[in-house]
Structure 1
Amino acid sequence: MSTASPNLNVMIKAARKAARGLVRDFGEVENLQVSMKSAGDFVSRADIKAEQVIREELMEARPNYGWVGEESAAEVGKDPTRRWIVDPLDGTSNFLHGLPHWAISIALEHKGEIVAGVIYDPIKDEMFTAEKGNGAWLNDRRLRVSGRREMIGCLFATGLPFAGKGDLPSSLRDLSRLLPQCSGVRRMGSAALDMAYVAAGRYDGYWERSINVWDIAAGVVIVREAGGFLGAMSDADVLEAGSVICANEPMYGPLRKLLID
């Protein structure tokens, strides 16, 4: 990775510190005490503890910044132009079922724009990072989106509604339109890693209709800095729309047209 800014170093340090506790708990996942937030949406003690660790690290380093996290109340900082956007455990259902596909996501927003992002998969020790104007990186390797130009050869990722959550008819319509024209669609259960994988060229594109800002914030800057195109499934800003589409440049337009028209 190229020289990281002080802010990005703080984010990386916070992600690694929270990861240590999550990895320990993942090794004993069957013993976790789990409470139900809503149907199919669980939060563990590990999730809450990880957010506390991240928040303490970030706010100690930058006490004037605001905060948005999945498991705690949002706060406006003394500096209203900057805020942290954090998902301490993206892929909670995978985590709780012992599936090794989950990540920590930390983003820094400045004046409504994501300027730095970290997505850390501690099981594989893959640290995806990006800062505006400084490229996207996986550990010490520069990232670029895939170069595929034909839909039939592309592999896409998405999220699907579960337990009555989200718009199932629209999601099924999306799949019925896309599956006959591409190489495949994956539903892996972590929006943050889906976006990181687009940046790494592992997927050619990703979309999701019902999504939270903390799930995608870090991925926004990582995808863009890797040369990808990104937007919402509406005319709204992607951080406010609750939906996202991202892909390499040749596939972004065709994918968006197929899903939205």
Structure 2
Amino acid sequence: MPHPMLTMAVRAARAAGNIIARATDHIGDLTIEAKQRNDFVSEVDHQAEHAILDVLKRAYPGHHFLGEESGDSGAAESEYRWIIDPLDGTTNFLHGFPQYAVSIALEFQGRLEIGVVYNPVNQELFTAERGGGAFLNNKRIRVAGLRSLEGALLGTGFPFRPDQDLEAYFKTFRALHGPTAGVRRAGSAALDLAYVAAGRLDGFWEFGLNPWDMAAGVLLIREAGGVVVDFLGAEEFMRTGNLIAANPKVTHAMLKAIRQSLSA
């Protein structure tokens, strides 16, 4: 049986997904704001986050919540913290590009315990709980078994904010592009990480992610047999935003290539 908190997270993700799905028929009528250049938020983001918080706060009023749009709320001293991205891939959504997702994770005492990534376009539901494995629509998933970068299909995210170092990213891209079968930039880190967990991508790397972009995906990958590290090989990615994810051997190869490229 799934953990009750995982069941509640799935309920919250589906509630947000329903709002997103209904809005796809009238995207042109939505109110859209720019947080900063190339970083947008729509009324659907806010409505979806409200739906998530409504479900979770009713169930767990004593917990702490971190939402992309609403920031911190609830009991800051709680040992439980929900990390929420109501619509990861807003730019995709606003253009009708069908690659976006709801992402919900739960930490207990700073350790990831539950992760849910839900794609309302095709109703794919990725779930994980610590020690219980990772699943796609209730079917067990595992990271791909590739042993090197040769022939690997990698995912990434291009820097798009003005404060990000595009040249540093290009160094890593050049280092990883050569030996691989290809690199994909689909525009939703939450889904990219879920795809690593499901073996659809052999690995993923990105600079400057926020906790809500990656928290659920990190647990999915770990529970699917993968490894997640930062660019120093440590586990400070939630703080630095710099992340590498794959199976252990591909992670090692990616880490080596990235560190060499950034030190050159």
TM-score by length of 2: 0.95
How far the C-alpha of 1:238 sits from its partner, in A, is 2.2
Partner of 1:42: 40
Q: Which segment drifts farther, 170-179 or 84-93?
A: 170-179
Partner of 2:206: 208
Deviations 1:2-40 (A, max 9, x none): x21100000000011111111111222122121121111
How far the C-alpha of 1:78 sits from its partner, in A, is 6.5
Partner of 2:239: 240
The 8 Å contact of residues 69 and 85 in structure 1, kept in 2 or not, is answered as: yes
Deviations 1:108-149 (A, max 9, x none): 001111110000001111000000000000002101000111
Instruction: Specify the SS of the correspondent of 2:178.
Output: helix
Deviations 1:184-235 (A, max 9, x none): 1111000000100000000010011111000000011100000001111234
2:191 equivalent to 1:168: no
Supply the distance in 2 between the matched residues of 1:110 and 1:87 (Cα, whole angstroms): 18
Change (3 A) 1:250 1:97: same
Report the residue type matching 2:121 in the other structure.
I
Report the residue type matching 2:255 in the other structure.
R
Supply the distance in 1 between the matched residues of 2:176 and 2:237 (Cα, whole angstroms): 22
Report the residue type matching 2:244 in the other structure.
I
Supply the distance in 2 between the matched residues of 1:186 and 1:78 (Cα, whole angstroms): 38
Q: Describe how 1:5-154 pairs up with structure 2 within 5 A.
A: 5-75=3-73, 77=75, 80-154=78-152
Q: Size of the alignment, in residue pairs?
A: 259
Change (3 A) 1:243 1:33: same
The 8 Å contact of residues 151 and 181 in structure 2, kept in 1 or not, is answered as: yes
Report the residue type matching 1:151 in the other structure.
L
The 8 Å contact of residues 228 and 235 in structure 2, kept in 1 or not, is answered as: no
Considering only aligned residues, what root-mean-square deviation do their CA atoms show, in Å? 1.2
Supply the distance in 1 between the matched residues of 2:71 and 2:168 (Cα, whole angstroms): 31
Instruction: Specify the SS of the correspondent of 2:205.
Output: strand
The 8 Å contact of residues 76 and 83 in structure 1, kept in 2 or not, is answered as: no
Supply the distance in 1 between the matched residues of 2:241 and 2:99 (Cα, whole angstroms): 23
The 8 Å contact of residues 64 and 79 in structure 1, kept in 2 or not, is answered as: no
How far the C-alpha of 1:45 sits from its partner, in A, is 0.3
How far the C-alpha of 1:79 sits from its partner, in A, is 5.5
Change (3 A) 1:76 1:43: same
Partner of 1:249: 248
Unaligned runs of 5+ residues in structure 2 are none
The 8 Å contact of residues 117 and 131 in structure 1, kept in 2 or not, is answered as: yes
Change (3 A) 1:176 1:78: closer
Change (3 A) 1:151 1:116: same
Report the residue type matching 2:247 in the other structure.
N
Unaligned runs of 5+ residues in structure 1 are none
TM-score by length of 1: 0.96
Report the residue type matching 2:254 in the other structure.
L
